[in-house]
Amino acid sequence: MRFELEENHLAVQQHAREFAESIAHLAPEADEMSDVHPELLEKLRDSGLCRLMVAGAYGGIDEKLDPLSICLVREALMPCSCQADSLFAMQGIGSYAIGLGGSEEQREFWLPKIASAECLPAFALTEPDSGSDLKSISSEIIPDGDNFILSGEKSFISNAGAASYFIVFVRDGSGYSMVVVPADAEGIRVTPTPEIIAPHIMGEVSFDGVRVAREARLGDGGDGLNFVLATLGVFRVSVAGAAVGLAQAALEEAVRHTSTRIQFGKPLNRLGPVAERLADCWTEIEMARLITYRAAYLASNDPIASVHYSSMAKLGASEMAGRVVDRCVQVMGRFGLVRGSKIERLYRQARPMRIYEGASEVLRHSIARKLSEEFG
Ligand SMILES: Cc1cc2nc3c(=O)[nH]c(=O)nc-3n(C[C@H](O)[C@H](O)[C@H](O)COP(=O)(O)OP(=O)(O)OC[C@H]3O[C@@H](n4cnc5c(N)ncnc54)[C@H](O)[C@@H]3O)c2cc1C
């Protein structure tokens, strides 16, 4: 058993770190914006990193998506800029279902533009009255001759105002489907989402009798939940990668501060409780990194069969990041609270990770169910 990354993954990691360094000066501004930072997007396009999000046949780097490469990129981007991390992640989350269930024409039209980041996608599941309970959505498509009519409201949709298309999760008769809708279709309206603790490119989207062609439906009618599951199988673990990167950056900030600040005649990090907290942080980060890489490796073989591992990695790493960044603020005292400082940004940016792509409590439920199936 090897515990080192292979050459190809080391190369991806190096590329992502260099890219992160090259955008570091834009991050403070970009991460306070709820819109796309144009220069950041331009640099992301130039980096070629989004080619990791699409299969080789459509302009991607690898023959099929590699969850470990995606994790490594998010681990490098998140500590630098949460906007860069989000833009990168959404290129995959918002296109994977097209790769699985789109017609050849849809794939050829959208996927190369995703790989080059010429187009940004949006993936619309959540509604004002439906979050964790995905099956309670009310958006629907109704057949109308050769078309469907799409109606409904979607809420907290990443990339909404900037997206070229929406993949929309809808009721379809007695089941659920996904439809791909160009963002300029008549009847779509995007309004701002209230700004959250760590600003995010996001919007509320209403679909008011939008006419979409029959071919806009991915796969066969009723495949919608399978597409959601498959997308989560590949991308949920990447949230864990981002959480590990964020926690590592917080720890490095705290170590830098506490090794130079003298109180009671010593650097803070030589005072027992401070040193112990830092040691706990490092240990927890290393543990989370291990399960994250393992879950990503398993997801590259069979993302659906290993989704419980991805859930464990996401749960463990996002909860860990919350604990670590909180301790790091604590050991930095008042300096950890300064608005706009790196540690303060990381503190805010860690919080949503325990809610999106499966709130911790919901993940515990699904992991516990799998546990009973395996050992009960
Ligand atoms: C930054 C950000 C970006 C987002 N981007 C997107 C996007 O691009 N597309 C999209 O569709 N959505 C997006 N969302 C929405 C996100 O998917 C939802 O916030 C998430 O699914 C949780 O739903 P909710 O917020 O409605 O919480 P609710 O479902 O109302 O749950 C609230 C809380 O109740 C608890 N809870 C819920 N269910 C259970 C349960 N079964 N057992 C125990 N406890 C439970 C959990 O603590 C949970 O946090 C985004 C959210 C954020 C914060």
Dump pLDDT digits (tens) for 9-35.
999 999 999 999 999 999 999 999 999
Residue 166 makes CB contacts below 8 A (sequence gap 6+) with 121, 122, 123, 124, 154, 157, 160, 180, 181, 183, 188, 205
On whether the CB atoms of residues 231 and 67 are closer than 8 A, the answer is no
pLDDT at 102: 96
pLDDT of residue 1 exceeding 80: no
pLDDT at 44: 98
Entry pTM: 0.98
Span from the CA of 156 to the centroid of ligand 1 (angstroms): 9
Residue 347 makes CB contacts below 8 A (sequence gap 6+) with 250, 325, 326, 328, 329, 336
pLDDT of residue 2 exceeding 90: no
- Number of the ligand 1 atom closest to the C-alpha atom of 159: 8
pLDDT digits (tens, 9 = 90+) for 92-147: 999 999 999 999 999 999 999 999 999 999 999 999 999 999 999 999 999 999 99
Q: Mean pLDDT over residues 301-305, rounded?
A: 90
- Number of the ligand 1 atom closest to the C-alpha atom of 357: 17
pLDDT digits (tens, 9 = 90+) for 156-174: 999 999 999 999 999 999 9
Pocket of ligand 1 (CB under 6 A): 123-126, 131-132, 156-158, 200, 202, 352, 355-356, 359, 361-362, 365
Q: Mean pLDDT over residues 312-322, rounded?
A: 98
pLDDT of residue 253 exceeding 90: yes
- CA angle, 370 then 375 then 376, to 5°: 90
State the pLDDT confidence band at 3, using cuts at 50, 70 and 90.
Answer: confident
Mutation to probe ligand 1, out of 33, 90, 120, 132 (largest number of atoms < 8 A from CB): 132
- List the domains of the chain with CATH numbers: 7-115 (1.10.540.10), 121-221 (2.40.110.10), 225-375 (1.20.140.10)
Count CB-CB contacts under 10 A for residue 202.
Answer: 23
Q: Mean pLDDT over residues 314-320, rounded?
A: 98
pLDDT at 90: 98
Q: Mean pLDDT over residues 80-102, rounded?
A: 97
Span from the CA of 84 to the centroid of ligand 1 (angstroms): 22
On whether the CB atoms of residues 175 and 224 are closer than 8 A, the answer is yes
Span from the CA of 8 to the centroid of ligand 1 (angstroms): 35
Quickly tell me which residue has 């331009």 as its tokens: 42
Q: Mean pLDDT over residues 61-87, rounded?
A: 97
Task: Give, to the nearest 10 degrees, the angle between helix 307-331 and helix 360-375.
Answer: 140
- Distance (Å, rounded) from C-alpha 292 to C-alpha 300? 12
In percent, the amount of the chain with pLDDT more than 90 equals 97
pLDDT of residue 199 exceeding 80: yes
Span from the CA of 318 to the centroid of ligand 1 (angstroms): 14
